[in-house]
Structure 1
Amino acid sequence: MTLAPRHHCQARARRSPALDLIALRDLHHDGYLRYAALLLPSAVAPLTIHDAFEDLARCWREVLSTASPTACAWQAVRQRVCTVAGPRLLGPVSHLTAPEQDVLLLHLVLRLPQAEVAALTGTDPAAVHVRLRSLARRLG
């Protein structure tokens, strides 16, 4: 068996269907799915995550040029879930900012540890901590 030259393997990897996008999806899939299942019917949640990553695949090169592709992936998931869920679903927390809604749902409702919330959303762990403290003050 002969091995292809190294540059040939690298070129082939670049043409593969965004292996880094697949890795990102696989890394956070359970968290994305738990979030979607919280707000959507269980049969719709996996399809919604799939559709969010289809959206990301179309602009993946641009996403890779951002400071945090993970944050972009979270925004794509969040946007798709909120679109499918409709505006009434987040009504009780609509007075909160999107990042506050995220930490409320992910940490306080789904009980994900703060570090996992930060990893899932592509947010600095300190920012998650600050948002939780702010929410605690606001919600009493």
Structure 2
Amino acid sequence: MLTPALPPAFEAFCALHRDLYLDYARAHLPEADARRAVSSALGELAVRWPHIVSHPNPAARAWTLLSARIRTQRPVPPPLSDCPALQYDALVLHCLLDYSTAAAEVMGQDPSKIRYLVCSAPAQSRTAARRLAPVR
């Protein structure tokens, strides 16, 4: 049986981002569901890889795909539901998971933008992000 070889750039991308993707997914979903969601998102990325890397910001494209997939499996809880998607993701990564520079990298955003999104969020949104727990 032949196993298709994945492009080395894709394998490197996965090695860099998989753990943080899993942490983000685990913040929303039970372990098994989180692993399936990330595997599914990475599978879709592999299929779309030529299109993803032709984009000026592949990390942002990949993040959008992953985070949208997670949000379809678990809607954003209030008061976080009032936040734009990018701000919500920044809050989860920064406030709950304690990622700062890595959050910007994985989201394909400038670190100053992530800091702005976190700092400009209402205090109740930052608190809600810290208390977010996966659905059981």
The equivalent of 1:133 in structure 2 is: 119
**Which structure has the higher relative contact order (CA within 8 Å, separation 6+)?**
2
Residue 75 of structure 1 pairs with residue 64 of structure 2: yes
The equivalent of 1:57 in structure 2 is: 46
- TM-score relative to the length of structure 2: 0.81
Distance in 2, matches of 1:18 and 1:27, equals 14
State the Cα distance separating 1:18 from its structure 2 match: 2.2
The equivalent of 1:120 in structure 2 is: 106
**Percent identity between the two aligned chains:** 31
The equivalent of 2:129 in structure 1 is: none
Residue 18 of structure 1 pairs with residue 2 of structure 2: no
The CA deviation string for residues 26-77 of structure 1, in whole angstroms up to 9 with x for no partner, is 1111111011001001111111101001111221111111111111111121
Aligned residues: 120
- TM-score relative to the length of structure 1: 0.79
Task: Note the 1:26-105 alignment, pairs <5 A.
Answer: 26-85=15-74, 87=75, 90-92=76-78, 93-105=80-92
Greater Cα shift, 15-24 or 123-132: 15-24
* Superposed structure 1 runs of 4+ greater than 4 Å apart: none
User: Which structure would you say has the larger Rg?
Assistant: 1
Letter in 2 for 1:50: S
| RMSD across aligned positions (CA) | 1.5
8 Å CA contact 1:103, 1:128 repeated in 2? yes
Structure 2 unaligned residues grouped into runs of 5+: 125-136
